[in-house]
Amino acid sequence: MDEMLEREIEKYATLLVQIGVNLQEGQSLRIGAELEHRELVRLIVAAAYEAGARYVQVDWSDAPTAKQRLLHSRPEYLDYYPEYEAARHHYMLDHEWARLALVGAEFPDIFADVEPDAMRRTSVARSRLLKFYMDATMADRIQWCVAGVPTAAWARQVFPALGQEEAIAQLWRMVLHTVRADLPDPAGAWRSHGDALRKVSAFMARHDVRSVRFVDATLADDGKATTDLTVGLTDRPDWVGAAAETPRGVSFLPNMPTEEVFSTPHRDRTNGWVRLTKPAFPFDRPVHGAYFRFADGECVEYRADEGQEVLAQHFVIDEGAKRLGEVALVDVRSPVNQAGVVFHETLFDENAVCHIAFGQAYPSGVRGGAEMTAEKLAALGVNVSDTHLDVMIGADTMDVFGTCADGRVVQIMAQGQFAPNVLNEE
């Protein structure tokens, strides 16, 4: 790896601490990482202490170890998750620890021969015990950030024709470019990017958009348009992009990279059909060529060229797993999409094109939602679930229209790009 790339990786570590989670003096940081992430983790830990961290905890994960339980545990034990994890997460929440989650699989296909039912049961057990922490994170009560770390296996997935060292270096270049760490002033670049996304949010608020229709007239194999999906929002919609803010007023970037402007659907107001344009990964298992049809908010029909059985396990998690918790707009000119590859990693692929998400909704997509009780949010139609699965639906053949509260229809995107009036309207 050349010296310039190494310097940019060091800048990336600092960027994650200072801009990603925006760690405050005296605050503690929790990092979730795989073992192959260790070189970057060491740089992040150093940057965190240099920024005044009180303490840094690294939670290491190892997929081969986790797999042993899925293959060999007695079935009746798969629904168990230790209570001490709840106490630990309550402590971190009560003391406002920031959270940095690093993604980039060391063993991308390791769960291919594991029964989806076993993966669902262990995942649900953990999710239910720690739902309070997930809810607090999605409500931005603490700073949190998800970011990517290239691994050898991930690089081979993205660049199968390259040798391992070249593939890793190329993936690093792409990751650093998408997070703007390769620019002279990454922090300034993020501020400018945030301003651009806020223009989209302002347009949606100014026109009081209450539903979003995704149309891709390209014909699919069944002779129907690829996508004609209308996602209805709550009666108090808000559109959020780039930075978020804790109740104490600390701003942070939940995702790095991030190219989306998103809102919260009403759980009963999605109708039509959609086909995925990139693979999805429920339980870390790939789903390709998926089709979904919705009626009154519920996914009533689905199929996939690959991964049908994984989708079946996802949709029985709970009733909310078949309904939407997020709708997001992403311009196809995003640096992630312009990289010209499928990243096989949701953090990146969801920031390439428009996407929706099944399951738990973000309160921040409702005006004043972060301060509302769970009961008030439910009354507004906000979806509740023990899962949150992002799936990508956008393409450079897609148009997006918004229906306003007064019945007007405005064009939001044309051929996958934000319409000029969205970015320039005053």
Q: Which of 188, 144, 191 is nearest to 17 (CA)?
A: 144
Residue 238 pLDDT grade (very low, low, confident, very high; cuts 50, 70, 90): very high
**What confidence tens digit (pLDDT) does each residue in 33-66 have?**
999 999 999 999 999 999 999 999 999 999 999 9
pLDDT of 223 above 90 = no
pLDDT of residue 3: 86
Length of the chain: 426
**What confidence tens digit (pLDDT) does each residue in 314-329 have?**
999 999 999 999 999 9
pLDDT of residue 351: 96
Rounded distance between C-alpha atoms, residue 55 and residue 48, angstroms: 9
Rounded distance between C-alpha atoms, residue 403 and residue 217, angstroms: 19
Mean pLDDT (the chain, rounded): 95
Rounded distance between C-alpha atoms, residue 303 and residue 316, angstroms: 15
Give the mean pLDDT of 300-310: 96
Q: What is the pTM of this model?
A: 0.91
pLDDT of 426 above 70 = no
285: which residues sit within 8 A by CB, 6+ positions away? Answer: 111, 112, 116, 119, 307, 310
CB distance 16 to 50 below 8 Å: no
**What confidence tens digit (pLDDT) does each residue in 357-378 have?**
999 999 999 999 988 999 999 9
**What confidence tens digit (pLDDT) does each residue in 130-151 have?**
999 999 999 999 999 999 999 9
CB distance 129 to 83 below 8 Å: yes
Residue 420 pLDDT grade (very low, low, confident, very high; cuts 50, 70, 90): very high
Give the mean pLDDT of 280-305: 95
Q: Is 52 left (phi over 0), alpha (psi -120 to 50) or beta?
A: left
Q: In 10 A of CB 177, how many CB atoms?
A: 17
Q: What distance lies between CA 44 and its chain's CA centroid? A: 21
Beta-bridge partner residues of 212: 231, 402
Q: Which tokens hold the place of 316?
A: 């029985």
**What confidence tens digit (pLDDT) does each residue in 174-218 have?**
999 999 999 999 989 999 999 999 999 999 999 999 999 999 988
Residue 35 in 3-state DSSP?
helix
pLDDT of residue 4: 86
Q: What distance lies between CA 389 and its chain's CA centroid? A: 8
pLDDT of residue 140: 94
pLDDT of residue 359: 97
Residue 118 pLDDT grade (very low, low, confident, very high; cuts 50, 70, 90): very high
Q: Which residue has the tokens 């909704």?
A: 361
**What confidence tens digit (pLDDT) does each residue in 68-100 have?**
999 999 999 999 999 999 999 999 999 999 999
**What confidence tens digit (pLDDT) does each residue in 11-21 have?**
999 999 999 99
Amino acid present at 402: G
pLDDT of 425 above 80 = no
Q: What distance lies between CA 54 and its chain's CA centroid? A: 28
CB distance 68 to 110 below 8 Å: no
Q: Which residue has the tokens 């601490």?
A: 17
pLDDT of residue 320: 97
Rounded distance between C-alpha atoms, residue 396 and residue 413, angstroms: 10
Q: E-strand spans in 243-362?
A: 244-245, 251-252, 255-256, 261-263, 265-275, 291-295, 298-303, 324-329, 355-359
Q: Which of 415, 412, 414 is nearest to 423 (CA)?
A: 412
Rounded distance between C-alpha atoms, residue 366 and residue 385, angstroms: 17
Amino acid present at 169: A
C-alpha to C-alpha distances, 382 to 127, 128, 187, 393, 403, nearest whole angstrom: 18, 18, 34, 21, 19
Residue 102 pLDDT grade (very low, low, confident, very high; cuts 50, 70, 90): very high
111: which residues sit within 8 A by CB, 6+ positions away? Answer: 63, 67, 70, 119, 283, 284, 285
